[in-house]
Structure 1
Amino acid sequence: MQEKNINRWLLPDALSPDQLIEKISRKYTIQTESSRNRTVTYFDSFDWRLYRKSFLLTRSDERWALRRRDSGRAVASIFEKDQGLRKFAWEFPSGRLANQLKKILGVRGLLALVTFDVYSRRLQVMNSDRKTIAHIDMIAQKIQTEPRVFYTIRLCGIRGYENITRKLARNFRRWGIGEVVSAEYLFKKGVAAMGRAPLDYHSKFSIVLAPDLSIRQAARAIFRQLLDTMRQNEAGIFEDIDSEFLHDFRVAIRRTRSGLTQLKDVLPPEITETFKREFAALGQVTGPTRDLDVYLLYEKDYLSRLPGTLRAGLTVFFSEMADRRHQEWEKMVSTLKSSRYRTIIENWQAYLDGSDPGGVSRHSEQPVGGYARKIIYRRYRRILKKGGAIGSSSPDETLHRLRIQSKKLRYSLEFFASLFPKKEMNRVIKQLKGLQTNLGGFNDLSVQQEMLQNYLADIRPGSRKNQDLAVAIGGLLTALYHEQKEVRRAFVTTFETFSGSKNEKLFSNLFG
């Protein structure tokens, strides 16, 4: 017996499962073949990384399954009796499911988005000869926090009885069963009940600005979206779900500070100066925890740089980093839950949402397009000048300053991307990303070496454990030093690519 033509319909509110069975029983014999109660929980990262790749992750009874969100077909799964909390991809047993999750999720943690109580029955549809001619799966799904029950049915035809399947399907339509639903239909209903919607958050900044806006109107819209990003990430920071909540929170702060600095004489001076100061303070408060997050994320990378005989020495180092990180996180959360922080955020929100944007300033009424071209092209020309002056004997600090300039250009491009042709903007940002990757890698290696040198200086000699630790840190410093030299040498060709004639022409045509 082979099933085919599996269809899934939503049962309308006007037709109960029992009423449907009664209608079918007028013509055919119906018998329950099996039934089952279970709970099904859907998981994804806060930024919908699985959903973006067209997957749904479910946990039901003893099974984790990664499913196609259109068909519901499982592409990878595991069975396990001990269903303890699994938040990160690397916590899953080795295998296809873990590999898929690692590739998609990276360092993001899994969130339980919604849980359904599910009751399913498989019905045999039999003819007068008591031969099974079709199966009907009747599935009742209830969101645990909601009273409504959703009923879906699946009609599974049997080879050789296709005409019966088609006839049943016609009858379903005649009885008002016409809405075909995909596997993700109830997932969407469930997350909506939890106050979310698929793709309602993305760490990548994107905003559509109307070209007839003034630069002040555009600036307020940009800052509103950045503030929304900060607020969306607060709960994840407080619950310490994963390191990306704090990362996105800090990036929104940096973008805000960069916007306040670059958009000179756009907002009222007192607003600009007040919030430049306030957001700089927030950057300082959140910096130590983020720095320690980065070191902990580098654990496998650090260990891979050392021979096996030295790796054990780093165990103490990462244990201390984890303890220190927890202490800094507690201090940071205390600040972010304080009335002082709430006042800063509420005052900034009040200005951005208020009907009175403040008095006219020197640039506030300029059209957004012209102003955007001017600041982007000026920043680009500054990078060409500063970067072109960097040689092999230039101090490291010159690369750090160029990194800051490049970051400001990147933020400006992202702020105003919607005002320019998408294809050309993607090319511009891609070229800049290459330069930023080089400069960011150089800076990261500098910061890591400085931290490790300070840590090494504080190690007390004497015990064997401390000796092993010091040797491991020394070996790691040597590896990082040589890698930084390679990154420094690669800067020359990276900058030549960025400053080349093709890229210069592209910038000139778009912004010059």
Structure 2
Amino acid sequence: MAKALGQRRLGTVLEAVILEMLDDARQAYPRIQDPEDSEGLHDFRVALRRLRSTIKEFGDQPGFAIDKALLRQLTALARATNDARDGEVMLAWLDSVAESTGAPERGAIGWWRERLAAQVEQEYASIDASVAGFPLLDTRLREAAGKAALKDKGKDKDSKKKDKNKDKKKGSNKAGKEPRFGDASAQVLARLGEGWLEELAAVKGREEEETLHRPRITGKRLRYLLRPWREQGEVFAELEEELKTFQDAFGDLHDDLVRGDVLTTAALLHTEEETLDRLEAALEQASPRATAPRHLRGFMLLHAHHEAQTEQNLKRVQALCRKPRLERLEARINEAVTLMKAPQ
């Protein structure tokens, strides 16, 4: 009979988890350049983030180690896809807004979308060179995970031999010292959970955007950690669903905050472009007239729409961070930590 998840050796479980994530990335990899597949790059990025987070969270545990050079390559590969994905998200927002706005906004959206789509196309072209190294990195990570698991199994056998010798000498039944997946996961969950709750409690307003950024990242790390535990009981399934609620809210707000800067940049670019065109045209006119840039009103209305959406999502985040909810969340995290460590 197979051991319960929490009782299995760390390296053995992590090998299976890493191979699963590499399989996900491998399946998404050819979809990146498919113009009909809008989610290919997203799925590839998610697989890489999960993989990177798992390696980092358990990297200091005995019995498991992945070469830091491979981790750096993985990080660089994920970052190389940032701009293209950000552009895709921006295009999706423009399309969604265009359905419910008036002519001035649609004019600004059309002007902006034409330039943004060209920029995203260029970003995708540059991705080719960056992600071309993924197949080799995939192979090396699979080999590294396999070696870590074999090393772990070897240590497990050595521990059992040592325990038998100790039993003969001391008459004891001490268990081996190598970490089990449940104990290691509980340690990481307790550490991340404590830090996350502190980050959530620090959320106030938009004055310090970093306080709105940190919980989003830590929340993702917690979800990645819980993924292998989804089928291990209602507590884990419910906690992961709770984490998804927080992640969705913080993710939407993060997109809003990033979009604010991009929106301002686009409006300034439009104004500059229009101004230069009119200065050039004025040289040919006997009585040049000064008028506002064509889409300035549209950008102003887009900005107002964006601000209203940002405030709405900020209130949504603030409601999640109220003390009673955080106290319930803390209790659920503590329950999950206990279950991870419990004999199964």
Same fold (TM over 0.5): yes
1:346 matched residue in structure 2? 139
The reply to whether residue 482 of structure 1 matches residue 308 of structure 2 is yes
Q: What amino acid does structure 2 have at the position aligned with 1:265? A: D
CA RMSD of aligned residues (A): 3.0
> Among 271, 274, 278, which residue is 2:73 paired with?
278
1:469 matched residue in structure 2? 295
2:181 matched residue in structure 1? 368
Give me the whole-angstrom Cα distance separating, in 1, the residues matched to 2:52 and 2:292. Answer: 42
Q: Which has the higher strand share?
A: 1
Q: What amino acid does structure 2 have at the position aligned with 1:343? A: L
2:190 matched residue in structure 1? 377
1:290 matched residue in structure 2? 85
Give me the whole-angstrom Cα distance separating, in 1, the residues matched to 2:292 and 2:149. Answer: 62
After TM superposition, list the pairs within 5 Å mapping 1:28-427 onto structure 2. 210-266=5-61, 271-304=66-99, 306-337=101-132, 340-354=133-147, 357-358=150-151, 365-392=178-205, 395-418=208-231, 420-421=232-233, 423-427=234-238
Go from structure 1 to structure 2 and tell me whether the alpha carbon gap of 1:356 and 1:369 turns closer, same or farther (over 3 Å shift): closer
Following TM superposition, by how much is the alpha carbon of 1:294 offset from its aligned partner in structure 2, in angstroms? 1.3
Following TM superposition, by how much is the alpha carbon of 1:266 offset from its aligned partner in structure 2, in angstroms? 3.5
Go from structure 1 to structure 2 and tell me whether the alpha carbon gap of 1:450 and 1:238 turns closer, same or farther (over 3 Å shift): same
Give me the whole-angstrom Cα distance separating, in 2, the residues matched to 1:257 and 1:498. Answer: 33
Give me the whole-angstrom Cα distance separating, in 1, the residues matched to 2:244 and 2:125. Answer: 34
Go from structure 1 to structure 2 and tell me whether the alpha carbon gap of 1:387 and 1:237 turns closer, same or farther (over 3 Å shift): same
Which protein has the larger Cα radius of gyration, Structure 1 or Structure 2?
1
Go from structure 1 to structure 2 and tell me whether the alpha carbon gap of 1:478 and 1:267 turns closer, same or farther (over 3 Å shift): farther
Give me the whole-angstrom Cα distance separating, in 2, the residues matched to 1:383 and 1:444. Answer: 20
Following TM superposition, by how much is the alpha carbon of 1:246 offset from its aligned partner in structure 2, in angstroms? 0.8
Are the aligned partners of 1:432 and 1:498 in contact in 2 as well (CA < 8 Å)?
no
Q: What amino acid does structure 1 have at the position aligned with 2:236? A: M
2:337 matched residue in structure 1? 511
1:443 matched residue in structure 2? 254
**Which range is displaced more, 270-279 or 490-499?**
490-499
What is the CA deviation profile of residues 49-88 of structure 1, one whole-angstrom value per residue up to 9, with x for unaligned ones? xxxxxxxxxxxxxxxxxxxxxxxxxxxxxxxxxxxxxxxx
Q: What amino acid does structure 1 have at the position aligned with 2:247? A: Q
What is the CA deviation profile of residues 413-444 of structure 1, one whole-angstrom value per residue up to 9, with x for unaligned ones? 113334x31x2222212222222122111100
Give me the whole-angstrom Cα distance separating, in 2, the residues matched to 1:241 and 1:390. Answer: 39
Following TM superposition, by how much is the alpha carbon of 1:268 offset from its aligned partner in structure 2, in angstroms? 7.8
Go from structure 1 to structure 2 and tell me whether the alpha carbon gap of 1:431 and 1:240 turns closer, same or farther (over 3 Å shift): same
What is the CA deviation profile of residues 384-438 of structure 1, one whole-angstrom value per residue up to 9, with x for unaligned ones? 12211333475121010111111111111113334x31x2222212222222122
Go from structure 1 to structure 2 and tell me whether the alpha carbon gap of 1:385 and 1:313 turns closer, same or farther (over 3 Å shift): closer
Give me the whole-angstrom Cα distance separating, in 1, the residues matched to 2:324 and 2:252. Answer: 17
Give me the whole-angstrom Cα distance separating, in 2, the residues matched to 1:394 and 1:322. Answer: 32
Are the aligned partners of 1:253 and 1:279 in contact in 2 as well (CA < 8 Å)?
yes
Identity %: 20
Following TM superposition, by how much is the alpha carbon of 1:453 offset from its aligned partner in structure 2, in angstroms? 1.8
What is the CA deviation profile of residues 271-312 of structure 1, one whole-angstrom value per residue up to 9, with x for unaligned ones? 341122111111121112111111222233222463333312
**Which range is displaced more, 406-415 or 293-302?**
293-302
Gaps of 5+ in 1: 1-207
Go from structure 1 to structure 2 and tell me whether the alpha carbon gap of 1:276 and 1:470 turns closer, same or farther (over 3 Å shift): farther
Are the aligned partners of 2:52 and 2:74 in contact in 1 as well (CA < 8 Å)?
yes
TM-score w.r.t. length of structure 1: 0.53
**Which range is displaced more, 409-418 or 229-238?**
409-418
Are the aligned partners of 2:65 and 2:148 in contact in 1 as well (CA < 8 Å)?
no
What is the CA deviation profile of residues 35-55 of structure 1, one whole-angstrom value per residue up to 9, with x for unaligned ones? xxxxxxxxxxxxxxxxxxxxx
How many residues get paired?
300
Are the aligned partners of 1:407 and 1:436 in contact in 2 as well (CA < 8 Å)?
yes
What is the CA deviation profile of residues 226-265 of structure 1, one whole-angstrom value per residue up to 9, with x for unaligned ones? 1111111122123333121110100011111111221132
Q: What amino acid does structure 1 have at the position aligned with 2:335? A: N
Go from structure 1 to structure 2 and tell me whether the alpha carbon gap of 1:210 and 1:391 turns closer, same or farther (over 3 Å shift): closer
Give me the whole-angstrom Cα distance separating, in 1, the residues matched to 2:148 and 2:206. Answer: 54
Are the aligned partners of 1:216 and 1:266 in contact in 2 as well (CA < 8 Å)?
no
Following TM superposition, by how much is the alpha carbon of 1:355 offset from its aligned partner in structure 2, in angstroms? 8.0
TM-score w.r.t. length of structure 2: 0.77
Go from structure 1 to structure 2 and tell me whether the alpha carbon gap of 1:434 and 1:242 turns closer, same or farther (over 3 Å shift): same
User: Using CA pairs below 8 Å that are at least 6 residues apart, which structure has the higher relative contact order?
Assistant: 2
Give me the whole-angstrom Cα distance separating, in 2, the residues matched to 1:209 and 1:437. Answer: 31
2:241 matched residue in structure 1? 430
Are the aligned partners of 2:202 and 2:211 in contact in 1 as well (CA < 8 Å)?
no
